[in-house]
Structure formats: C-alpha cells, structure tokens
Amino acid sequence: MLIDTHCHLDFPDFDADRQEVIRRARQEGVGRIINIGSSLRGSRAGIALVKQYDFIYTSVGIHPHEADKIDEDAIKDIQELSKQAKVVAIGEIGLDYYKGISSVENQKKLFICLLEFAKLNRLPVIIHCRQAQEDILKILRDRDVACGVVHCFSGDEHFLRQCLDLGLNISFTCNLTYRKAGNLRNLARLVPLERLLLETDAPFLPPEGYRGRRNEPAYVKYLAEELARIKALDFQEIARVTTANAQALFRLNL
C-alpha cells in the first residue's frame, strides 16, 4: 500500500472528475490519501471530502501566500476546524519568500501562531518552505518543533541536515523523477528511510512523462519507483516503510 501524504483534491482542478481521480488512486494501490488545507476555504472543503471517503484524511492550514488576508477570526476558525474527525495535522503552513505575495512579517506571525497551536494540541505540522530556509529553522528551533514534515523538499544539503537534526520528516514530490533533478536525487539519498514520506502535491508537479498535465494521487507510484532506484531497494520495501512512517506521524488507521 502507498500513502499520498500531500495533495489538494479540493482544488478546482479536480471539480470535473474528482470521483474518478480518487478511484484511479485506489486502483493503483494508494490506500490512504491526505488532503492538505492551504486556505480557510480549502480546509473546510477537505473536511467535507473526508466525510465521503473512509480512506481519505485531511489537514487544516493556511498557506503563507494568504498571510496578508488573515485576521484573528480566520485563525480561530482553523483552530475549531482542527477538532473535526479525521483532521490529522496543521498545514500547510510556513514561509514563502519566492513570490513575495504576502509580507514577511505577516507570514512569520501566521506561521508562529499555527505552530504554537499545533504543538499545544499535539498535532504534527506540514511545513512549506521556499527561499526562507534560515528563518524557518530559527522559528522551528525557538519553539522546539520536532513533529512534522518538510513537504516538497527543495532546499540544500545544509537545510536538509538541519531539518533532520530537528527530528522532522522529509517528503519529496514527483519532480524527483525529472531528468534534470540530479541534485534533488542526491539529497534524497541522504534522507534515512525511516524519515521519508511520499507525496504528489497534486495537481502540481506531475512525474516525468506527464509534465504539462495535471498531477494526481495515482502517480505517487512513480515517485515510489524512483525512490526505490535511488535507495537501491525493492518497490515493496519503499511502500512498506513510507506507509509505516506516514501512519506513525499522522496516526492513521490502517
């Protein structure tokens, strides 16, 4: 069994055929899916989705791009949503300095607020980091955050080792399959197997051979195959260990 620990089935990209996308994932051996909340609206949609499928779970969170729009009421809403059944994490949350859509100050405030809430309520966090490595590390260290995953890892070796030292898990997406992703594959070799998770980040970052098209949870198998090559292990071993890792972090019922 495979687990896609990070996708966005609530996005409009799936409105036309969401049920069929989910059916294909099951056919390809995806036993559990975690839908990731990246806005208040998306978090609510994720909760509605998990009520329809017993093998889908969700997180609630607010992406750093949303930070300038967030007020105290929105934070309270996310906190209340986190109490719903099958909410397994807070995220995705973090910092994104690449596009500068929200101010750095507001991003940090939002990130810290939701980190502290997650820690108080013993929920793992799903961390988004883009061109903000040192600030992410400082905030995580200052708050002694160790329960979570850095999703869609794209940092350098120093950042990777620091995240591992903190006790965090690491997940890669299907961009690991890209022909020019040699550096990313080198980083994947450094991640201990017991700290590795699988994700598609669908609808984004489809695997090699599907680029320019929509990604979907069924394609997590291509990521597992690539990691099996990188780690020189059987596909079944990658599936077994990453499934166990996801179950332990998110406390999924398997």
State mean pLDDT over 114-135. 97
pLDDT band for 179, please (50, 70, 90 cuts): very high
Whether this model's pTM surpasses 0.85: yes
For 180-218, how does the pLDDT look when each residue is reduced to its tens digit (9 = 90+)? 999 999 999 999 999 999 999 999 999 999 999 999 999
Residue 254, pLDDT above cutoff 80: no
**Structure token digits, residue 11:** 């996005």
Amino acid in position 130: R
- For the chain, give the mean pLDDT: 97
Contact yes or no for 8/35 (Cβ under 8 A): yes
Which tokens belong to 56? 């889908």
Maximum C-alpha span of the chain: 49
Q: Identify the band that residue 134 occupies on the pLDDT scale cut at 50, 70 and 90.
A: very high
pLDDT at 223: 98
208-221 per-position pLDDT tens digit: 999 999 999 999 99
Across the range 40-61, mean pLDDT stands at 97
d(CA 230, CA 246): 20
Average the pLDDT over 139-149 and give the result.
Answer: 96
Q: What is the mean pLDDT of residues 44-69?
A: 97
Sorted by where each starts, the structural domains of the chain and their CATH numbers stand as 2-250 (3.20.20.140)
pLDDT of residue 253: 78
Report, as an integer, the average pLDDT of 36-43.
97
Paired residues of 77 in beta bridges: none
pLDDT per residue as tens digits for the range 63-91 = 999 999 999 999 999 999 999 999 999 99
CA distances, 116 to each of 49, 175, 229 (Å): 27, 31, 38
Q: How many CB atoms are located within 10 Å of the residue 209 CB?
A: 10
